[in-house]
Homo-oligomer: A and B are copies of this chain.
Amino acid sequence: MAIIVQKYGGSSVADTDKVMAVARRVVDTVMEGYQVVVVVSAQGDTTDSLIQQARAISERPPKREMDMLLATGEQVSIALLAMAIDSLGQPVISLTGAQGGIMTDTQHMKARIREVDGARISAELRKGQVVIVAGFQGMTSTHDITTLGRGGSDTTAVAVAAALRADMCEIFTDVDGVYSADPRLVFDARRLNQVDYGEMLELASLGAMILQPRAVEVAAVYGVPIHVRSSFSRKPGTMIREVNAVEREISVTGVASDANCAKITLAGIPSNVNVLHNVFSALASEGVNVDMIVQAGTASPTADLTFTVTREDRQTALDTIAGLEGGQDWDVICDDDVAKVSIVGAGMMTNPGVAAKMFEALSAEEIPVFVVSTSEIKVSCLVPRSRHQDAVRVCHKKFELHAGK
């Protein structure tokens, strides 16, 4: 029997009525002939409210204990959803991340799934039960509870789907799919029918906010098709899957943007690879995710190194650099009044001049570009935060994304 994994976010289970609506949708899916695994997040603002409780007690609560605290959010959701599904007469069982076999590394609050042991989930499915698994959480090899960080429920869903060789992973959300740009910024943004894994990865990591990048990575590795669709409608949303080159018609699929970034420049540092190694390994060991990295002037004895981090990680990054050998002597410039705007498209690889067209659009509107970084399927520009929306709009228009595939 075909297995389907459905993931419902926190807003989909925010209150009793919504929990019942999700329960009905799950039972409908069972009626369609599927074995159903449901991955669910904490209700509404639960996680934020737990974080506030922790902050009231300690400014720097131990991360292990934060995970112990936050994991209760999903545990409440899975229990309530199980009760709702049971009340509709459908056999059901809820499992915590640990019970569901979600094994992670030990990096509390940012843990990564190492492995999903699907034995228990499979056994419960064989009994004819719907299985609900707590998203966002897992267990280390020493039985400690971990959380995957914001949006981690997506990763749980995809990892479970991969472990069970599920036919489909459906991600239910409060939007009806992936758009060519944020519809709040661009009025004629268009819902995309399908997106390639690579494109989605760039869109997700660049701030499309619909799917956690790690979830897309896992889906790509295991070939799990993801269907991003609305909790509030039965219409199809956006399919994320491997798209053949021959199917591509246009070079740019969407415009993504991210206003949650801070730019840090280390001016006049010794230009050798050892310094780069020291800086970025120190940041990594503090759990700081570095995004864009640009270095200019490698021929001279000193160089300027610029990189971006999230605004939350800004202070940790600055403290880490100050703590490095010689770090006090560097000229460190931090600017968090910036935003990143990117054009994304798997067809870009075979289509030269895409970057030039983006710069032309930004230049025509006199939007300054501080940093540029490119990959095979995206071009990103760091612009002033005040020009963030303008930048997204002009790029969307320039590439005629409202017209569609």
Chain A residues with a Cβ under 8 A of chain B: 16, 19-20, 50, 53-54, 56-62, 64-66, 68-69, 71-72, 75-76, 78-80, 82-84, 86-87, 93-94, 96, 98-99, 120, 143-145
Contact across chains for B93 and A57 when beta carbons are under 8 A apart: no
Which of B50, B64, B68, B83 is the one whose CB lies under 8 Å from A61?
A: B83
Chain B residues near A93: list those with CB within 8 A: 64
Q: A83: which of B62, B94, B120 is its contact (CB, 8 Å)?
A: B62
- Chain B residue numbers with a CB within 8 Å of A120 are 143
Nearest CB in chain B: distance from A86 CB, A: 5
Q: Which residue of B lies closest to A71 (CB)?
A: B75
Q: How far is it, in angstroms, between the C-alpha of A78 and the C-alpha of B68 when the chains are bound?
A: 8
Q: List residues of chain B with CB within 8 A of the CB of A54.
A: 79-80, 83
- Pick 17 A–B contacts, CB within 8 A, sort by A: A16-B56, A54-B79, A57-B83, A58-B83, A58-B84, A62-B82, A62-B83, A62-B86, A64-B93, A65-B82, A65-B94, A66-B79, A68-B75, A68-B78, A69-B75, A71-B75, A72-B75
- Asked whether A84 lies within 8 Å of B72 as measured between CB atoms, the reply is no
Cβ–Cβ contact B72 & A86, under 8 A: no
CB-defined contacts of A56 to chain B, threshold 8 Å: 16
Contact A143 B99 (CB under 8 A): yes
| Sample of 9 more A-B contacts, CB < 8 Å, known A54-B79, A62-B82, A65-B82 | A57-B87, A58-B87, A62-B86, A65-B79, A68-B79, A69-B75, A69-B79, A72-B75, A72-B76
A65 to B93, CA, bound (A): 8
Residues of B within 8 A of A83 (CB): 54, 57-58, 61-62, 65-66, 69
Interface contact B75-A20, CB-CB below 8 Å: no
Question: Which residue of chain B lies nearest to A84 when distances are taken between CB atoms in the complex?
Answer: B57
- Report if A76-B50 is in contact (Cβ < 8 Å); known contacts: A82-B62, A82-B65: yes
Q: Tell me the smallest distance from the CB of A145 to a CB of chain B, in Å.
A: 8
Measured CA separation A126–B56 after assembly (Å)? 30
**Residue of B whose beta carbon sits closest to that of A62:** B86
Query: Which B residue sits closest to A78, measured CB to CB?
Result: B68
| A82 & B68 in contact (Cβ 8 Å cutoff) | yes
In the assembled complex, the CB of A41 is this many whole angstroms from the nearest CB of chain B, namely: 15
Inside 8 A of A82's CB, which chain B residues have their CB?
A: 62, 65, 68
Nearest Cβ distance between residue A85 and chain B, in whole angstroms? 10
Closest to A55 in B: B83
A76 touches B69 (CB 8 A): yes
Q: Which residues on the B side are within 8 Å of A84 (C-beta)?
A: 57-58
Tell me the nearest residue of chain B to A72, going by C-beta.
Answer: B72
In Å, the complex CA distance between A75 and B57 comes to: 16
Q: How far is the CB of A27 from chain B (nearest CB, A)?
A: 14
Measured between beta carbons, the chain B residues less than 8 angstroms from A96 are 68, 145
Query: In the assembled complex, which residues on chain B have CB atoms less than 8 Å from the CB atom of A65?
Result: 79, 82-83, 86, 94
- Give bound CA distance, A75 to B61, whole Å: 15
A73 nearest CB neighbor, chain B only: B72
CA A399 – CA B99 in complex, angstroms?
55
- Who on chain B is nearest to A88 by CB? B58
Instruction: Tell me, in angstroms, the Cα distance from A19 to B79 when the chains sit together.
Output: 27
Alpha-carbon gap, A362 to B194, bound state (A): 83
Query: Nearest Cβ distance between residue A84 and chain B, in whole angstroms?
Result: 5
The residues of B that contact A69 with a CB separation of less than 8 Å are: 75-76, 79-80, 83
Chain B contacts of A86 at CB under 8 A?
58, 61-62, 65
Residues of chain B with a CB closer than 8 A to A75's CB: 68-69, 71-72, 75
Q: Tell me, rounded to whole Å, the shortest Cβ–Cβ distance linking A42 to chain B.
A: 10
CA distance in complex: A80, B64 (Å):
11
- Chain B residues with CB below 8 A from A59, complex form: 87
Nearest to A80 among chain B residues (CB) is B57
Task: List the B residue with the shortest CB-CB distance to A145.
Answer: B96
Q: Report, nearest first, the 6 A-B pairs whose CB atoms are least far apart.
A: A69-B79, A72-B72, A68-B79, A58-B87, A61-B83, A58-B83
